[in-house]
Structure 1
């Protein structure tokens, strides 16, 4: 059994035991787990990361680690990695982006990579993207994978005049309600009271319900030129979410559907990266 699965089994047992005492506490504990990247992986600095300008940002009480390449480039771009990921996994994009003339900024999100913290949620990541935009932008383009794609979409939809911005979304987490439902199913949490306690955390932290944290909700305000790349067999962020938005026929969103690249190979594939270079 993988360590991550073993830890999940321990948490399932803990939640079941907590539910005997308090269903509210069980739901709160489940939500904290939902926001926790189990098996956080650090990394050593590769030569490419060492070549970057090292950046540090205080976000709340957490010290975040970041990088900048090609400072002073004609255009600016931000990379936002996914859940349980980090900047190093996207370093292969840097030469391509430098060739396109971009100054590139990338940070490890809270509780990820070399940054501090234990948990992250969608409102945190959205606010981080907004803070990075204010401090190091404005950005002409964004690249977001999975959870990072959702954070980028939420943040950019709040920006005025966002039609001038280009966004590349690799397998974005388009529907947080679906992700939460999958998590509750995996954790065998079926009790309505425990589930309600879980969802109450979203309202308490953000003043909004979970449906607010979806790409579909952002569409009326999001005018950016978007390249959305999704694999048909993605096991993490179901392609059905992309199909649903495609059927709405938004003219500014261009879809590419791949076969067999899954959730992570999709942003490394040479043919896909060629499309990304052409779009940017």
Structure 2
């Protein structure tokens, strides 16, 4: 792993005080530990918006949209006024303006974009969320702003879009960037970072599945959704991604009926969103499929 990748991996570190608290709860009450860990797992960080996103934020038409199926309100962004629309979906702890460089290039090519702050992200209300709420938001946005020519998703946003297509989202092509794959692996990595016993993985799964309307947590894995996706999908991932292993992209692409794979180097998990080659391949893929 490169020095840059190692440095980026620091963003995954959990504060020592939280780890000590979790270990204490592990020693006295598995139930309290599960509740504590579940809260931590479902709470994203609200990062300060960088200057590169200011113009998109300023020029976008913003509105609040209520998502009935989850009982939450989200903030939406319409960027550009072209009739052809592309849906953009940020990842965990992201924002509706995070894919700004891709949005700007799409508008140059005659598209407009629609994006949103997922529940508990950006300007949207709430403190906790999970992928099913990302998916519900996507499907509700389609009702109000669709149809969409295509969609681009980063990290959890890509996983959510694959699941949304599986559940009826009508788009002609999809690009996912830096997306995770198996839910079980994501839970295991979280527990490992907490330095806790692996029994917590099963306890968390049981805890979350109580709210999933009879769907197992693992059923939201990207590779499982990919099996039912018929449209063309471009899977982009960096070999030096310290947050999501590149093996995830390779596994997802293997299960797609019509999937392409682009691997980059030295860009990590977030810098990849502004890379000129990645952006041009994304635009070309969308335009190619539109012909």
What's the CA shift string for 1:3-41, capped at 9, x where partnerless? 977863222222222233320221122122111113x22
TM-score in terms of structure 2 length: 0.86
Unaligned runs of 5+ in 1: none
| Residue 212 (structure 1) aligned with residue 183 (structure 2) | no
Partner of residue 127, structure 1: 136
CA contact (8 A) 2:101 2:279 kept: no
Aligned to 1:234: 241
Is residue 263 of structure 1 aligned with residue 269 of structure 2? yes
Which of 45, 49, 56 is matched with 2:64 structurally?
Answer: 56
| 1:190 equivalenced with 2:197 (yes/no) | yes
Number of positions where the alignment pairs a residue of Structure 1 with one of Structure 2:
273
Question: Which secondary structure does the structure 2 equivalent of 1:275 belong to?
Answer: helix
Distance 1:48 1:6 in 2: 30
The 3 A distance-change label for structure 1 pair 184 and 98 is same
- Counterpart in 2 of 1:95? 104
What CA distance in whole angstroms lies between the structure 1 residues aligned with 2:198 and 2:155?
29
Distance in 2 (alpha carbons) for counterparts of 1:181 and 1:191: 7
Q: Does 1:139 align with 2:151?
A: no
Q: TM-score, normalised by structure 1?
A: 0.89
1:254 aligns with 2:260: yes
- The Cα of 1:220 is off from its aligned counterpart by 3.0
1:142–1:167 CA contact under 8 A, matched in 2:
yes
Q: Distance in 2 between matches of 1:187 and 1:253?
A: 35
Q: Verify: 1:85 aligned to 2:94, yes or no.
A: yes
Give me the CA root mean square deviation. Answer: 2.3
- Residue pairs, 1:142-157, within 5 angstroms: 142-157=151-166
CA distance in 1 between partners of 2:73 and 2:284 (Å): 35
Cα distance, 1:180–1:234 mapped onto 2, change above 3 Å: same
Unaligned residue ranges in structure 2 (runs of 5+): 1-9, 287-291
Aligned to 1:116: 125
Structure 2 Cα separation of the partners of residues 196 and 15 of structure 1: 16
